[in-house]
Chains A and B, each alone.
Chain A
């Protein structure tokens, strides 16, 4: 639900210093902002239907494809502007992420990492695009899909490279540990590698986007709530001052959010590369 719609639903009269003694808790944004009205429902349990998220997902995919198509359409040795940006991204991810985590073998997974980075970043950035203003990744299902894909790749690469036993033993038995501690260590390793890692991998961008967006929504709603020109005398000036502060905070935090959005995408592929690197390496 966009902020405007939200405020309309909460009622026009609820403001600071208002006559009806209305508190902020009545207009403060709740998790409802992450549950827009579906355009179409499937009527099945555990489904959300076709919602704004679905629309933004399609837009994200098209944006990434469009960017990449335009950037590489006339790929030349002397690059154009968009091509330079794409090349910078590719070389940055290659030098700072895949080669750091996987060595030269990581070049094979470079397109995957670039795709994941762009996809996550664009899905995150939906949160600050005016009119949409809702990060796609604030629904756990989308980062979960990406994390599951990485998890499956992680296992597939490990099994392909070291065999089923080699992969699983390599993951749950840390190299160089004394035998007597293994009964204690193996369950921890299983829990960490096969449960905690993929779950946190998905949760990380989700939680960052959920909280970030909620923070922005609170600043927006607060600014609107505190803006009351109808208040008595001096109080209306105070209300405008408060509202201005909230606006400044909103702008600053929007910039900060953009940084977080890129950072989360970077962290996601950094972890993905690290996991795939482990699988390639075998026993560590």
Chain B
């Protein structure tokens, strides 16, 4: 025990252990380096996937934003068109109303004119008829007067002549009118 204790120096560096240590280290390093790519490839792939996912999300977001912008523009365009259409419709309505009014007035004028013409025609007709009747009546009257006083004197003859002249005159005057 005492003899052994003299050799038992804890700081003693045993050469065989050093060699074993090197062998163990190099075997381990060799094997670990051989197995290493597996874990790094997995780590890299995961990093890629995460980066890809983030990139995809960003792209999708940008796309969504673009589409939203397009929709907004479309809605604004639609609003603008609607306003234009409304304006146009108002103008058209006004034009139609104006046109209708004009037409109605023209129609009214035409109706009035027709009525005037009819009245005039009726008047002319009535005048002509009246004139004929007056002639007949006058003739009747004259006949009666003449028949009862024809046996009178020559003066009476003159009266009759004058009456007939006047009658002729008035008749020609009526024709002129």
A77/B36 in contact, CB under 8 A: no
B154 at the interface (CB under 8 A from A): no
Tell whether, in the assembled complex, residue B10 and residue A34 are in contact, meaning their CB atoms are under 8 Å apart. Answer: yes
Asked if A30 is at the interface of the complex by the 8 Å CB criterion, the answer is yes
A260 to B116, CA, bound (A): 130
In the bound complex, residues from chain B placing their C-beta under 8 Å from that of A91 are 43
Size bracket, chain A contacts? 35 or more
Q: Which residue of B lies closest to A210 (CB)?
A: B10
Tell whether B39 is near chain A: CB-to-CB under 8 Å. yes
Contacts of B18 in A (CB 8 A): 141, 144-145
Establish whether residues A46 and B39, one from each chain, have CB atoms under 8 Å apart when the complex forms: no
Q: Which of A35, A76, A141, A145 is B8 in contact with, Cβ under 8 Å?
A: A35
> What residues on B are CB-neighbors of A210 within 8 Å?
10
B18-49 CB mask vs A (1 if < 8 Å, else 0) is: 10111011011101110110110111011001
Distance in Å: Cβ of B167 to nearest Cβ of chain A: 134
Interface size of B by CB at 8 A reads 35
Q: Taking the nearest CB of chain B, how far is it from the CB of A93, in angstroms?
A: 12
- Bound together, the chains give a CA A52 to CA B13 distance in angstroms of 16
Are B39 and A141 touching (Cβ within 8 A)?
no
Q: Are B10 and A87 closer than 8 Å at their CB atoms?
A: no
Q: Chain A residues near B43: list those with CB within 8 A.
A: 87, 90-91
CB distance from B94 to the nearest CB of A (A): 72
B12 touches A149 (CB 8 A): no
Binary CB contact string for chain A from 134 to 162 against chain B (1 if under 8 A, 0 otherwise): 00001111101110110000000000000
Query: Does B42 contact A76, Cβ atoms closer than 8 Å?
Result: yes
Q: Which of B17, B31, B32, B38 contacts A141 (CB 8 A)?
A: B17
Is A200 an interface residue, CB under 8 A from the partner? no
| CB atoms of A112 and B24 under 8 A apart | no
How far apart are the CA atoms of A139 and B17 in the complex, in Å? 8
User: A79 touching B42 by the CB < 8 A rule?
Assistant: yes
Check if A48 is an interface residue, CB within 8 A of chain B. yes
CB contact under 8 A between A54 and B20, given known A47-B15, A86-B39, A87-B43:
yes
Nearest CB of B to A43, in Å: 11
Q: Which of B32, B35, B46, B49 has the most CB of A within 10 A?
A: B32
Task: Flag whether B11 is at the interface (Cβ < 8 A).
Answer: yes
Residues 67-100 of A, flagged 1 when their CB comes within 8 A of B and 0 if not, give 0110110011101000100110011000000000
Residues of B within 8 A of A141 (CB): 13-15, 17-18, 20-21
A64 near B13: Cβ-Cβ < 8 Å: no
Query: Is A219 part of the contact surface with B, judged by Cβ < 8 Å?
Result: no
Q: Which of B8, B32, B35, B39 is the one whose CB lies under 8 Å from A32?
A: B8
- List the A residue with the shortest CB-CB distance to B36: A111
A115 in contact with B32 (CB, 8 Å): yes
Interface residues of B in 74-105 (CB under 8 A from A): none
B5 within 8 A of A: yes
A203 and chain B: residue at smallest CB distance:
B11
Q: Quick one: which of A30, A140, A145 contacts B5, CB cutoff 8 A? A: A30
Nearest-CB residue, chain A, relative to B31: A65
Contact indicator B17/A34 (Cβ below 8 Å): no
Proximity bits, A11-53, B CB within 8 Å = 1, else 0: 0000000000000000000111011000000101011110001
Q: Which of A34, A72, A146 has the most chain B CB atoms closer than 10 A to its own CB?
A: A72
- Contact present for A146 and B39 (CB under 8 Å): no
Decide: A139 and B24 in contact? CB cutoff 8 A.
no
Given contacts A30-B5, A47-B16, A115-B32, contact A144 B21 (CB under 8 A): yes
Q: B14 to A69, Cβ gap below 8 A?
A: no
Residue of B with least CB distance to A30: B5
Asked whether any CB of chain B lies closer than 8 Å to the CB of A58, the reply is yes
Residue of B nearest to A112 (CB): B29
| Residue of B11, B24, B25, B31 touching A58 (CB-CB under 8 A) | B24
- Beyond A141-B18, A142-B17, 13 additional pairs, beta carbon < 8 A: A32-B1, A34-B10, A42-B16, A61-B28, A75-B41, A76-B42, A83-B42, A111-B29, A141-B13, A141-B17, A144-B21, A145-B21, A210-B10
Q: Return 11 A-B CB contacts under 8 Å, by A number.
A: A31-B5, A34-B10, A49-B16, A54-B20, A68-B32, A79-B42, A87-B43, A138-B10, A141-B13, A141-B20, A146-B21
